Amino acid sequence: SFEIIFVGRSNVGKSSLLRELFGAKVRVGKRPGVTLRPAHVQVSNLLITDMPGFGFMSGVKDRKQDIVKDKTVHYIEDNAERIQLGVLVIDSPSFPQIVDRWDSKDQIPIDVEMFDFLREVGIDTIIAANKMDKVKESDYDPLLDEITVRLGLEPPWQNWRHIIAPISAKKGDIKALKGLLRDRLHEMKRDDL
Ligand code: GDP
């Protein structure tokens, strides 16, 4: 079996994306601050895992974020052999500022930390750069370059098209991601033979 794990901060559009990709089969109805366990759905021989969003709960936001991070890390460590693919969903327009805010405090933002961690444990990870519909055409490539740099990759972003998929879950424009997922699935099938 083949497991794909979806991770991201709260509000990046992970639920919207999962709905676009797999219909209403994944997590239905969010209960922010309550849902700490991963949600699973089986699509033929594909196991889709929706990890809770690294989120904010007023008053205890730091603690909740830590709990979600710990649980996600443990889940990934425990299941790393089965997880062939990670999808990190980001809110593209706000990603550079969020990373810079953490950097200025000498901390690693949770998304970048998760990207590094997934790759460290050997999980091929795709960045679903969501909400690109909010970005005007002239800012499109510069923003994706900025995201590339914040992820620790060398620009231009076009060199990372096998990793970075600019999408808009809201507009249903997710073909870049679908293409990458399809490529990975084909590769895995070939390897299995
Ligand atoms: P989750 O918390 O990551 O599961 O995010 P949701 O799917 O619930 O979306 C959070 C908010 O972002 C909602 O208001 C969505 O309508 C909005 N959203 C999701 N995807 C997009 C997108 O591609 N573009 C824009 N502009 N908004 C989006």
Q: Which CATH architecture has domain 2-192?
A: 3-Layer(aba) Sandwich (3.40)
Size of the chain, expressed as the number of residues it contains: 193
Residue nearest to atom 10 of ligand 1 (CA): 11
Q: Is 8 in the pocket of ligand 1 (CB under 6 A)?
A: yes
Label residue 108 by pLDDT band (50, 70, 90).
confident
Looking from the CA of residue 14, the nearest atom of ligand 1 is 3
**pLDDT tens track for 60-82:** 556 777 888 888 999 999 999 99
Residue 193 confidence (pLDDT) above 50: no
Residue nearest to atom 18 of ligand 1 (CA): 13
Q: Is 92 in the pocket of ligand 1 (CB under 6 A)?
A: no
**CA pair distance 145, 153, nearest whole angstrom:** 9
CA distances from 144 to 23, 43, 133 (A): 28, 31, 13
Q: Is 131 in the pocket of ligand 1 (CB under 6 A)?
A: yes
Q: Is 133 in the pocket of ligand 1 (CB under 6 A)?
A: yes
**pLDDT tens track for 110-162:** 999 999 999 999 999 999 999 999 999 999 999 999 999 999 999 999 999 99
CA distances from 114 to 7, 124, 193 (A): 8, 12, 31
- In this prediction the ipTM stands at 0.99
Q: What is the pLDDT of residue 190?
A: 54
Residue nearest to atom 9 of ligand 1 (CA): 13
Q: What is the pLDDT of residue 45?
A: 84
**CA pair distance 191, 188, nearest whole angstrom:** 5
